[in-house]
Structure 1
Amino acid sequence: MSIIYLESKDNPKIKHLRALIEQNQYRKKQQQTVLESTHACLAWLDSGQKIHAFFTTEAALKHPDLQDIQELHTGHIFIISEVLYKSLSTLGTTIACLAVIDIPRHTQTINYNVDTLILDDVQDPGNVGTLLRSAAAANIKQILCTPAVASLWSPRVLRAGMGAHFSLCCFERVDLTNVLPQFEIPVYATNSHQANTLYEQDLKNPCVWILGNEGQGISEFALAHAKAVTIPQPGGQESLNVAIAGSICFFEMVRQRT
């Protein structure tokens, strides 16, 4: 491991880093993304994966979390100025920590008999990352995403996921018309206008959860291929945030299986 100082914002490594942070198409072309937070970096390294390039500041290098990363990271560490780091960071105030990694590739095919989370056009990166984090905590390992879902490997979704991605099998740009009819287990969709409540369902066996767009909800096709359930809201709110609704569903499933 060596420490290298980079001063210019026009350095090719800085340009590559900035493009990965800001441009979805560039991430897809390069098949790389950026982790931003010591927690995510340590989770990535602990899973046996490699960081290609690690960027921090001279002051942050002394932080205990950065010391832990240095013990696991075998490549170069690039030191940049505080001003340059702030121009790159999407987090604001945090320990300076940016890591370039390869987007994982998996060879698995969709399993139609295991607990699955389907995201149907969920577009907010924070909601997507939170849902992945809750799914992983509830031991849901398979994630299917329709084309309009926020890019799973964007820095913002990765930040909200807090390392959950690394234990999940994720499929992006899925056509629900092809996959939904093939599931051999119950499929549930949240819908605030249905009479069937979540707590009336038998969730002890594997099932599928479909969560929809923040404004429009799930598609008509998805709703036609699922049993719609509602989460009782005695306080009278019109609807719940999709990440909160999903988390409630996942942990009702966990409760019934415990």
Structure 2
Amino acid sequence: MPIIFLESKDNPKIKHLRGLIEQNTYRKKQGQTVLEGTHLCLAWLQEQKKINAIFTTELALQHPDLEEIQRLYHGSIFILSESLYKDLSTLGTTLACLAIIDLPSSSQALQYNLDTLILESIQDPGNVGTLLRSAAAAGVQQIITTKGTASLWSPRVLRAGMGAHFSLDIYENVELEQVLPQFKIPVYVTSSHRSTSLYAQDLTRACVWIMGNEGQGASDYALAHAQAVAIPQPGGQESLNVAIAGSVCLFEMVRQRI
């Protein structure tokens, strides 16, 4: 495979890489995004998916993880100086590995009878990635996001998801009003202001979960068209972090089905 040294930050390939890392609009225009870290790259390759280009450093190239990636990947590897790589990286301390991939598109139409997680205007990439990890671990097949939710294929959300994306069917920027009425299975939304307990629900059949914005919670539309449930908090805190709340709900569902 070709190994090419790039030295200038003004090289067109470096500018392209930086644009994909930093700008959501550029990612959409180019139809590409960036995987950062060897864990994500290996998980992507093990799904037999294509990587367009890999950027690393001369030192990192000797690491066993990069050797495994080279075994699975047959394209160009671009070698950057340590300082240039650090300038591009959003992680800073992990083994140097940035991979450009094409933005995936869902392979099938949205299914209205499957376990589904809806993220409504959740803005923090860490929360979004954590919810995707919990959903994948709980066996949820579909993720829907509304406008205002952090881009699921941004490098930060990908990093927080730790490969969960690769086993999920993802539908972004969906209007809640268009899809919610079509579900023929129970739909739940979390709200700390409702008295109906999560633990009083029968979650043994397929259902939909709506998780709302970190500050404002779920929309009025979601609250009006779903069963609102609360997670009991005997300690008296006002609310839970949305990623924690979503994970509690998903694994109560898992517990009831075991």
Deviation at 1:106, TM superposition (A): 2.3
Equivalent residues of 2:198, 2:230 under 8 A apart = yes
Give the structure 1 partner of residue 152 of structure 2: 152
Give the structure 1 partner of residue 7 of structure 2: 7
Equivalent residues of 2:106, 2:171 under 8 A apart = no
Helix, strand or coil at the partner of 2:33: strand
1:198 partner amino acid:
L
Q: Does 1:196 align with 2:196?
A: yes
Deviation at 1:141, TM superposition (A): 1.1
Q: Could you tell me how far apart the structure 2 residues matched to 1:162 and 1:133 are?
A: 7
Q: Could you tell me how far apart the structure 1 residues matched to 2:247 and 2:225 are?
A: 21
Task: State the TM-score, normalizing by the size of structure 1.
Answer: 0.99
Give the structure 2 partner of residue 206 of structure 1: 206
Give the structure 2 partner of residue 221 of structure 1: 221
Structure 2 unaligned blocks of 5 or more: none
Helix, strand or coil at the partner of 2:217: coil
Equivalent residues of 2:54, 2:98 under 8 A apart = yes
Q: Could you tell me how far apart the structure 1 residues matched to 2:30 and 2:247 are?
A: 33
Residue identity (%): 72
Helix, strand or coil at the partner of 1:188: strand
Q: How many residues align?
A: 258
Q: Does 1:248 align with 2:248?
A: yes
Render the CA deviation track for 1:84-107: whole Å, top value 9, x for unaligned: 001100112111010000011224
1:139 partner amino acid:
G
Render the CA deviation track for 1:46-98: whole Å, top value 9, x for unaligned: 01101100000011111111111111011011100010001100112111010
Give the structure 2 partner of residue 127 of structure 1: 127
Q: Could you tell me how far apart the structure 1 residues matched to 2:206 and 2:223 are?
A: 19
Give the structure 2 partner of residue 40 of structure 1: 40
Matches within 5 A, 1:169-188: 169-188=169-188
Q: Does 1:60 align with 2:65?
A: no
Render the CA deviation track for 1:200-247: whole Å, top value 9, x for unaligned: 111000000000000000100011110011111111111110001000
Structure 1 unaligned blocks of 5 or more: none
Q: Could you tell me how far apart the structure 2 residues matched to 1:254 and 1:210 are?
A: 17
Give the structure 2 partner of residue 139 of structure 1: 139
Q: Could you tell me how far apart the structure 2 residues matched to 1:37 and 1:18 are?
A: 16
Task: State the TM-score, normalizing by the size of structure 2.
Answer: 0.99
Q: Could you tell me how far apart the structure 2 residues matched to 1:74 and 1:41 are?
A: 13
Q: Could you tell me how far apart the structure 1 residues matched to 2:88 and 2:126 are?
A: 19
Q: Could you tell me how far apart the structure 2 residues matched to 1:251 and 1:2 are?
A: 46
Give the structure 2 partner of residue 29 of structure 1: 29
Q: CA RMSD in A?
A: 0.7
Further displaced range: 104-113 or 152-161: 104-113
2:61 partner amino acid:
L
After TM superposition, the runs of 4+ consecutive aligned structure 1 residues lying more than 3 A away are none
Q: Could you tell me how far apart the structure 1 residues matched to 2:106 and 2:234 are?
A: 43
Helix, strand or coil at the partner of 2:158: helix
1:201 partner amino acid:
Q
